[in-house]
Amino acid sequence: MKLQHKSFNCFLRPIKRDDRIMIGGFVGLMISMVWYSGLLWHALLGIPVLVSLLWVCQPQRLCLQIVHGFLLGIIWMVSVVGFGQWLKYYLVEIYKVPTNSMEQTIIPGDRVLVCKWIYGARQFTGEGIERLWGLRAIERGDIVVFNSPVENGDTDGTTERVSWEAANTRNIRHHTPYVKRCVALPGDVVEIREQELRVNGAVQEAPSTAMFRYRFSFSDSRSMTQAAEWVERNLLIAPKRLPPEAMLETFLTRQEADSVSMLPGCTEFHMTHSRPTTVVYPHHDSILWSMNTWGPMRMPQRGDSILLTEQTTRLYAPIVALHEGHRITLTGSITSVDGVPRQYYVFAKDYYFMMGDHRMTSQDSRIIGPIADDHIIGKATHILWSVNPEPDASHQFRWNRILKRLK
């Protein structure tokens, strides 16, 4: 059947077998988009392309041909851009890593692929944040990208619940994205003793790429100098030299530290602690935790009920205010939630403990506290490509990191 117009000559083109496959696949894609997001209007992104596949216009006049081609190009561009934004919002996104908190697993300049569909993408609505269907839950050892809970100008939980919920939903997606390794799940008890991570009382082996600060002692200054040159040449790291004591200090993995300890003249090596002056969670003067000694603290699980004592108030009040918008206060022996006396508090979210593989310099859950589930963006799976950010680097593009799988 043909419907013709003497100026445009528009008609339905004959549908062949290949056309049916292409159109069927495109319709299936539109249905899948609507099914996953739950928003019917997302199908509108593909309707212009679908119409252009079925309907053919062959204008007779040159001016109409130009206008027709221009409009058709705009239609396709809008659909492609819309589909790209949907893909970025719900399935995958690429993040550039500017810091060394995950070194050597991820280094500055890496472009990391983050899969949102593994845990389920976040749906931002006027009522809050919903987690869509995902392939699986977060597991210990996963490399996770999440929005920092602390941002300049963000609410600190001192406002009313309604305004906090609106601000949290609106601003969370614009918070700085962090990439860390999940080391503890909701319900786990986390403890760090002399940089040794323990979860539920069991010592957790650090990844082979995790970096620590080591100090090496040598028999004389000459041996120290030769060792420093070897480290710079083979490990591409410039160690700090301590000439009077014939020592070297630098960040290395445990395997690299073992290699340096085998160099001639090395008499002793040991792991050194990070700066004790770093202020850590829960940022209370009565709790003397540090980057090296932290916890024990149980990661809250949705539905958990805690007895509000002086100790639990100090531990959990900061994350309750920051992530759930409720103020827990202690006046004498009376605890209150939003000004109402309460003995118990029930958590509304799941919380995870995140740590960087560069254990000595990472700004992770030891500082910013446990991370709520609605802050989690997705799982980092691959390094797509990497560019050395140093301006004086001899090789800017790192070919050996293309499509490198993260583990």
Residues 142-169 pLDDT 10s: 999 999 987 654 444 444 554 455 456 5
CATH 2.10.109.10 fits 93-195+276-405, yes or no: yes
Written as six digits, the tokens of 23 are: 């159109």
The mean pLDDT of 216-241, rounded to a whole number, is 91
Written as six digits, the tokens of 182 are: 């999940």
pLDDT tens track for 169-197: 557 888 899 999 999 999 999 999 988 89
Least confident window among 161-170, 205-214, 325-334, 382-391: 161-170
pLDDT tens track for 272-331: 876 666 788 998 888 889 888 998 999 999 999 999 999 999 999 999 998 998 999 988
One-character DSSP codes across 253-321:
EHHHHHHHHTSTTEEEEEE-PPPTTS--TT--TT----SSSEEEEEPP-TT-EEE--HHHHHHHHHHII
Q: How many residues does the chain have?
A: 407
Phi-psi region of 166 (alpha: psi -120 to 50; beta: other; left: phi over 0): alpha
Q: Look up the pTM and report it.
A: 0.85
- List, in sequence order, the alpha helices (H) in 320-371: 365-368
Report which residue type is found at 358: H
pLDDT of residue 156: 43
Written as six digits, the tokens of 338 are: 């939003």
Q: Mean of the per-residue pLDDT values for the chain?
A: 85
Which superfamily does CATH assign the domain made up of 211-271 to?
ACT domain (3.30.70.260)
The mean pLDDT of 211-239, rounded to a whole number, is 91
pLDDT tens track for 238-285: 899 988 889 999 999 999 999 999 999 999 888 887 666 678 899 888
The mean pLDDT of 120-148, rounded to a whole number, is 91
pLDDT of residue 150: 78
- Quote the CA–CA distance of 186 and 382 in Å, as a whole number: 26
**4 pLDDT higher than 50:** no
One-character DSSP codes across 195-245:
TEEEETTEEPPPPTT-EEEEEEEESSHHHHHHHHHHHHHHT---PEEEGGG
Written as six digits, the tokens of 274 are: 């990070």
**3 pLDDT higher than 60:** no
DSSP state of 247: E
pLDDT of residue 247: 92
Query: Quick one: what percent of the chain has pLDDT higher than 70?
Result: 86
pLDDT of residue 270: 87
- Quote the CA–CA distance of 9 and 6 in Å, as a whole number: 6
CB 376 within 8 A of CB 185: no
pLDDT of residue 200: 96
9 versus 85: the higher-pLDDT residue is 85
Written as six digits, the tokens of 155 are: 């609410």
360 versus 296: the higher-pLDDT residue is 296
- Quote the CA–CA distance of 95 and 378 in Å, as a whole number: 11
In terms of average pLDDT, the best of 171-180, 230-239, 371-380 is 371-380
